[in-house]
Chains A and B, each alone.
Chain A
Amino acid sequence: MRKNESTSLMKIFSPARVNPIERMAKAQPARLISDCIAGNEDAIESLVRQYEMDIFRLAQSIVGDPSEASEITQETFIAALRALPSYQEKQSFKAWLYTIALNHSRSHLRKRKVMERLRTTLTTIFRVENQKQILPEEAVIHNEKERELWNALHQMDEPHRIVLVLRYFHELSIAEISAILSVNEGTIHSRLHSAREKLRNALNHLRGDY
């Protein structure tokens, strides 16, 4: 019994990651960046290929729609290549790029909110029956627990959802998230604690404990 408890406790203290090696930030040689600024297409391609997957997934995790995420990825790299001369080497390149991607994603979300309001208004005016949409993510939800957690995640406000996504999906450290969002580390901790608490409550609700 004591041994089982120790095993359980060890599990609590082990970090929650799927692939810890992936998390290691790749060093960004200053040479590559200066080549990109000079307009070297090979350097630009190398930079884009290195980060496009991360940026796409970040955008997708925020806006949901893959085609919109592709659009955001392209916009992010266009903006980053233009702003590259203003990038300061003392800051993490990945964090800098993520900040640009996040700003573009938020901008898309704002546009979408406006569109949704418009659609709601039109629906009300023309009395169109609002049919329940079958979301594509339904297919990848395996059980009730996952559904409950997924719903809870999407009911959260944007600041809490983003820190969870950056922490768990992108496996970033608190310091990195703080740099990306330009918010102090204490606030990041606080948002994460609160977000986890909400998810925990969702699971308890499913169990009937809540």
Chain B
Amino acid sequence: MQITHEEARKLIQFNADEALISQKKAILFAHLQDCTECRAYADDIKEVESVLLPLMKRHWNLRPVPLSINTLTAHRTSKIQTNILLTTRTAIIGMVFAAFALVVWQFTVSGQRTATPMPINVLPVPTPSTQSTSTTSMIQNCDQILYKVREGDTLQRIAFEFSVSKDEIMAANNLETEAIRGTMELIIPLCNFTPTVTEKPTTLTTTYTPVTIPLSSTPDG
């Protein structure tokens, strides 16, 4: 198989790279046997290699100072330590930020409270319990309870029992006179309620079902 000089030069270069298959080698060999010009080129390339290789070996023939394994492993460990340190720092920064956010939030909330102050007359509604009797008595609040009149009850006695005045009961029930009957149900207004019937406090909480009407008005109203 005939090849051109250009192709032969390419093959010479590939041959120098040790990348020539045997078939191509045979073709090149046959060409070089007859072509002086290409043989000269191949000789030049061979000369370049033969000069360059020992020259490089002579120039770069130093032996390195053996590396310290401790230094290498110390760097390796320091990387791990750096990671731990980084994690710790991140955690601390996170906590500081969270604390700062909490403080800011607290200030914001308290600021909102200051901006819209709660009305003084809006007070917590007492929870009926055994202690509620005394709690109720401490709070300036007006509740109303429904009292079923029993036989023999007088307005005076009921007023005394609930520590309210007769007039208040009469006003609350639109009564013209003090006369009450056994079938009546009276609304007892309980302002500044102080249970004087301490002998049966549980009866107050269990028997009476307070009809809780939250009042937005003043304690007096």
Residues of A within 8 A of B (CB): 5, 8-9, 11-13, 15-18, 39, 41, 44-45, 48-49, 52-53, 56-57, 60-61, 66, 69-70, 73-74, 77-78, 81-82, 137, 140-141, 145-146, 149-150, 153, 164-165, 167-169, 173-174, 189, 192-193, 196, 199-200, 203-204
Contacts and interface: CB of A to CB of B under 8 A. Distances in A.
A176 to B, nearest CB: 12
B33 interface: yes
A150 B42 CA distance: 20
B63 A53 contact: yes
B39 interface: yes
Given A8-B43, A78-B72, A149-B52, A69 B15 contact: no
B60 A48 contact: no
A12 B46 contact: yes
Contacts of A12: 12, 15, 32, 39, 42-43, 46
Given A16-B50, A82-B76, A168-B49, 16 more contacts: A12-B12, A12-B42, A13-B25, A41-B73, A57-B62, A73-B64, A74-B71, A81-B73, A140-B58, A169-B60, A174-B18, A189-B19, A199-B48, A203-B44, A203-B47, A203-B51
14 contacts: A9-B29, A12-B42, A18-B53, A53-B63, A53-B64, A78-B76, A81-B72, A81-B73, A82-B79, A140-B55, A145-B51, A149-B52, A173-B18, A189-B13
B14 interface: yes
Which secondary structure characterizes the binding site on chain B? helix
A73 to B, nearest CB: 6
B66 interface: yes
B150 interface: no
B62 A66 contact: yes
A200 B69 contact: no
Contact of A149 (B19, B51, B75): B51
Which secondary structure characterizes the binding site on chain A? helix
Interface residues of B, number: 47
Nearest to B46: A12
